[in-house]
Structure 1
Amino acid sequence: MTGNGTPGKAGRIDVPAAGGVVFRIRSGTPEVLLIYRKGVWDLPKGKKEEGEGYAMAAAREVAEETGSDLPLIVGSLPVTYHDYNMDDVEYSKHTRWYAMITRSNHFSPQLDEQIEKVCWIGLEKAEKLVGFENLRLVLSDLRRLLGSDQK
């Protein structure tokens, strides 16, 4: 645990985090940048460092986990919440999400974070592939932001 954890709900340690949904429009179809880690398709995200703003943390995490240049934030997405236990300590992680674009065309997974792949995947398919329900909600909100509610 880094020094940015504070007691959260019901005695849990609060873990502030941020993540990014990097997207592009390819032949009229929205695509998002997913990472593949520990057998699960995921979105780039991570803990906010002490003194760091959420938006900067999100951009930094995306760049680190995908090997891209720092992305440009173009909108805000919902906050997600996730409670977990590690080494008999309860944590409550809240992640602020941002919609982003990047100029990068080549990506390199952050191997020391056990990320195996970084791929552009169609938004509709990504909503089915991601391994966590709260990520489906974030991707659904991106769909609304882009005005492509119809599947």
Structure 2
Amino acid sequence: MEVESIKAAGGVVVKESNSSDPFVLLIYRRGVWDMPKGKLDEGETIKECSVREVSEEVGTPVSPNIIFDLQETYHEYERHGIHYGKTTYWFAMKFPDDAEISFRPETEEGIQEVSWERLSDAKTLVGYENLIEVLNTFELKYREFREDKGNSDS
């Protein structure tokens, strides 16, 4: 069976908290908690795609900033008789500290809700196994990022 390749990008958007368990942004779509992501447009870089898709899916004009690269995930699915292989490139992101953020879920994409959830809770909420892997990678890299940031502030 022929597989049509799709490239996509998305983000683990973080909001820092006073605890060691930061908040991450989740979307609720088609009965499943997910993370914002979407398909690469022609002429767009993977990083540009990730920022655009996060902004579009959560419905905010404020673009998040990429703070570090995460990983790629791959899964296959079938829709309308076509077999797809989707590679998604993930990035850790953060909205600017001074930005006033409000969300308006992209209902045309089936997104019903946008929610900040503690990272530990997000791992149990997301509906896809590969997203748990992305969140685990994020957690490890985020700890290192915070330690490096703390050491450079002193």
User: How far has the Cα of 1:40 moved from its partner?
Assistant: 0.6
Counterpart residue number, 2:26 = 34
Q: TM-score, normalised by structure 1?
A: 0.88
Counterpart residue number, 1:111 = 107
Q: 1:129 aligns with which of 79, 101, 125?
A: 125
User: How far has the Cα of 1:108 moved from its partner?
Assistant: 1.0
Cα shift readout 1:7-44 (whole Å, capped 9, x = no counterpart):
xxx63110000001100111223110000111110000
Tell whether 2:88 aligns with 1:95. Answer: yes
Give, in whole Å, the separation in 2 of the partners of 1:26 and 1:118.
18
Give, in whole Å, the separation in 2 of the partners of 1:73 and 1:88.
36
Tell whether 2:134 aligns with 1:141. Answer: no
Counterpart residue number, 1:74 = 67
* Structure 1: gaps spanning 5 or more residues: 1-9
Q: TM-score, normalised by structure 2?
A: 0.86
Q: 2:12 aligns with which of 21, 29, 33?
A: 21
Larger mean CA deviation between 100-109 and 120-129 belongs to 100-109
Cα shift readout 1:73-122 (whole Å, capped 9, x = no counterpart):
00111100010111111110000000000134311111111111111000
Residue identity matched to 1:16: K
Counterpart residue number, 1:4 = none
Counterpart residue number, 2:149 = none
Identity %: 42
Counterpart residue number, 1:45 = 37
Counterpart residue number, 2:52 = 60
Give, in whole Å, the separation in 1 of the partners of 2:104 and 2:18.
24
Point out the structure with the larger strand share: 1
